[in-house]
Chains A and B, each alone.
Chain A
């Protein structure tokens, strides 16, 4: 270890590994992972959400799985729960859409209207 900067660099990298274990009151993202969700392709959606959140170093976001959300025909479903305010439900998701949700909704705060259940079911 040659300098404090070197240590801080290692720390930056290492933090991503343990962030999951910290108390987190921020945004919760939930992916439907019942049989219906998994067979519709929820796993790649989940993985790209995680990858994107980690790449961007978003510390106040937790990603979780849940069981059947109830509208199996629209799976994979992703629900976003902000720390305050109403949840947003995205349907018929895939990896690319998941990345866009992170970039547009989570980072910039703009709900991606065309993926939401309200828009799709109009």
Chain B
């Protein structure tokens, strides 16, 4: 066995891989071989480190040196200086980790300090394709403990007592779900994992599967033992290729080690697991639609009840949980329900993973204890809004959620508070918006998404959301009538109460919550035909400032629709009826005479 003096961890999440972290890994291996350091230095490809904004990320241990924005050309310098001579290459370090001439290790950077990692504990720490690294981090100990030392009832009781709630968005008590499935009659039961994460801008589940696939396999096996199931399926979208690949490798390794299959830990318990690929329809994240899709049917929701716990896959009792929910299970079994309850808030114990995106400095993946305030997430961890712009709102819960304004920045994040404030936890997308974002346009964006993703089974969703989108588009184009806002509200309420599944019932939320907090913006669009944020093109017009115009004719030459008139050395004029609002004139004007109004 080789003893390595240093480990080089390279992020292998989707974000860093798309900015060539695979090539960086190759380069490290090549140069390390050249320098004959291969027996001293180990190169490991991990899951997501979370601070995607700084990617591609390379961490060198034992120092915990945090290199950010690494390019293939930087590799030779890191090897020669740091790995060979022990001199950390300061100029390549993440900017915040070098302060006052002192170098901070990755764990002391602000972005990580306020986080508490349970579901992501191994992400960015272990090699997801090596089961022994997972075992080294106490992996499969919880499964061993559950099947050899606990009864299924004790396992369920522990999960119930912990207060763990479904992390897919609903927040239903996980232990109860387990109990219902265990109590349901039938000798054939199933355990499913919902990995059909589809909210725009969300990548929590994807990152867990990419960075720590064994945690999901272990938890599903524990769940199988608890509810009396022998077969598990992970339903994951095919557009997550890295997650699919690593999960398959992990399943194969678990089988080989006898952690899946017959006689697990020498008991009579048998559990097998397979992957089912989804085609990427948003509605398949709804549990009954997901079940239909696994059965080979068209992915459409079924009326509930009966709930999956009684009649799920193939009409058999079925337990279905989300990826992040499972990722919490083994820690709860090992450390106990009291430990879990000590984190977070009373009604929402534990942590929650959020994908932080939009107008924020530290785009990335964060895991925080429940009860952390929005301000702490956005400013302390997220590093605030770029360019000194003003915070306007934060959108949580994706297309089913809503917006929260600056007055709620100090509200604690948990299931119940967010619902009370008119948004929701959702699966964990968190999109920050600044003064340049038009809220009507944001509502249109999410409606556009739900119209596209509506499965078409029930009319309120199929027809209703389409009508709502049309009204929004009309408003944005400047053709809104005063009654439109009321119409929009009425439609929204109707769809909410009459749609068949969660997708339809929550589809109007982005409209309702923006109407609630930003009604004045809607009214400005409709009554004054103005977009206060300056985002809706149709409501803008370009004007030439007569004071600044020198009559150089550059704008008129640049205009593709001949909308600008004016003689040489005379003040020019834009005809609104011909202007297509492309902005070409504004770019060309050397005197800054063209403005948006």
Question: What residues of A have a CB within 8 angstroms of the CB of B258 in the complex?
Answer: 1-2
A62 to chain B, nearest CB (A): 4
B131-167 interface (Cβ within 8 A of A): 132-133, 135-138, 140-141, 144-145, 148
Closest 9 CB pairs of A and B: A65-B86, A14-B136, A1-B258, A14-B132, A4-B144, A54-B3, A62-B62, A2-B266, A18-B136
Contact of B126 among A18, A33, A34 (CB under 8 A): A18
Asked if A17 contacts B5 (CB within 8 A), the reply is no
A114 to chain B, nearest CB (A): 26
Contact of B265 among A1, A14, A21, A24 (CB under 8 A): A1
Asked if B5 contacts A47 (CB within 8 A), the reply is yes
Q: How many residues of B contact A (CB 8 A)?
A: 38
**Residue ID in chain B nearest A19 by CB atoms:** B136
Whether A87 is near chain B, meaning CB under 8 Å from some CB there, is: no
Main secondary structure of the interface of A (DSSP, over half): helix
**Residue ID in chain B nearest A67 by CB atoms:** B87
Given contacts A1-B258, A23-B107, A46-B5, contact A17 B132 (CB under 8 A): yes
Give bound CA distance, A88 to B219, whole Å.
48
Question: What residues of A have a CB within 8 angstroms of the CB of B265 in the complex?
Answer: 1-4, 7
Question: What residues of A have a CB within 8 angstroms of the CB of B86 in the complex?
Answer: 31, 33, 64-67
Most buried by B among A4, A33, A53: A4
A81 to chain B, nearest CB (A): 13
Question: What residues of B have a CB within 8 angstroms of the CB of A107 in the complex?
Answer: none
Whether A63 is near chain B, meaning CB under 8 Å from some CB there, is: yes
Contact of A21 among B3, B9, B257 (CB under 8 A): B9
**Residue ID in chain B nearest A1 by CB atoms:** B258
**Residue ID in chain A nearest B139 by CB atoms:** A11
Whether B567 is near chain A, meaning CB under 8 Å from some CB there, is: no
Give bound CA distance, A54 to B3, whole Å.
7
Query: A28-61 vs B: 1/0 string, CB under 8 Å?
Result: 0001011000100000001100110111000000
B545-588 interface (Cβ within 8 A of A): none
Query: B62-79 vs A: 1/0 string, CB under 8 Å?
Result: 111000000000000000
Given contacts A1-B258, A51-B3, contact A7 B141 (CB under 8 A): yes
Asked if B148 contacts A4 (CB within 8 A), the reply is yes
**Residue ID in chain B nearest A8 by CB atoms:** B141
B334 to chain A, nearest CB (A): 12
Instruction: Give chain A's interface residue range (CB within 8 Å of chain B).
Output: 35 or more
Asked if A24 contacts B144 (CB within 8 A), the reply is no
Give bound CA distance, A1 to B6, whole Å.
31
Whether A20 is near chain B, meaning CB under 8 Å from some CB there, is: yes
Give bound CA distance, A122 to B64, whole Å.
38
Whether B320 is near chain A, meaning CB under 8 Å from some CB there, is: no
Question: What residues of A have a CB within 8 angstroms of the CB of B259 in the complex?
Answer: 1
4 further contact pairs, Cβ within 8 A, besides A4-B148, A38-B85: A2-B266, A7-B141, A62-B62, A66-B87
Whether A15 is near chain B, meaning CB under 8 Å from some CB there, is: yes
Asked if A17 contacts B62 (CB within 8 A), the reply is no
Question: What residues of B have a CB within 8 angstroms of the CB of A1 in the complex?
Answer: 140, 144, 257-259, 264-266
Query: B243-282 vs A: 1/0 string, CB under 8 Å?
Result: 0000000000000011100011110000000000000000
A93 to chain B, nearest CB (A): 16
Question: What residues of B have a CB within 8 angstroms of the CB of A24 in the complex?
Answer: 62
A117 to chain B, nearest CB (A): 20
Most buried by A among B3, B7, B84: B3
Contact of A18 among B85, B87, B133, B145 (CB under 8 A): B133
Most buried by B among A16, A17, A24, A47: A17
A83 to chain B, nearest CB (A): 15
Q: List 9 A-B contacts (CB under 8 A).
A: A1-B144, A2-B263, A4-B145, A7-B144, A20-B61, A33-B85, A34-B85, A53-B3, A63-B62
B41 to chain A, nearest CB (A): 11
Given contacts A7-B140, A11-B135, contact A21 B61 (CB under 8 A): yes
Asked if B125 contacts A21 (CB within 8 A), the reply is yes
B1-17 interface (Cβ within 8 A of A): 1, 3-7, 9
Asked if B62 contacts A64 (CB within 8 A), the reply is yes
Give bound CA distance, A16 to B42, whole Å.
13
Question: What residues of B have a CB within 8 angstroms of the CB of A20 in the complex?
Answer: 4, 6-7, 61-62
Asked if B133 contacts A14 (CB within 8 A), the reply is yes
Whether B295 is near chain A, meaning CB under 8 Å from some CB there, is: no
Question: What residues of B have a CB within 8 angstroms of the CB of A14 in the complex?
Answer: 132-133, 135-136
Question: What residues of A have a CB within 8 angstroms of the CB of B125 in the complex?
Answer: 18, 21
Whether B40 is near chain A, meaning CB under 8 Å from some CB there, is: yes
Asked if B5 contacts A50 (CB within 8 A), the reply is yes
A42 to chain B, nearest CB (A): 10
A102 to chain B, nearest CB (A): 13
Question: What residues of B have a CB within 8 angstroms of the CB of A10 in the complex?
Answer: 132, 135, 257
Asked if A11 contacts B107 (CB within 8 A), the reply is no
Asked if A18 contacts B137 (CB within 8 A), the reply is yes
Question: What residues of A have a CB within 8 angstroms of the CB of B135 in the complex?
Answer: 7, 10-11, 14
Most buried by B among A8, A23, A55, A65: A65
Question: What residues of B have a CB within 8 angstroms of the CB of A62 in the complex?
Answer: 62
A72 to chain B, nearest CB (A): 14
**Residue ID in chain B nearest A47 by CB atoms:** B40
Asked if A63 contacts B5 (CB within 8 A), the reply is yes
B505 to chain A, nearest CB (A): 44
Give bound CA distance, A76 to B136, whole Å.
34
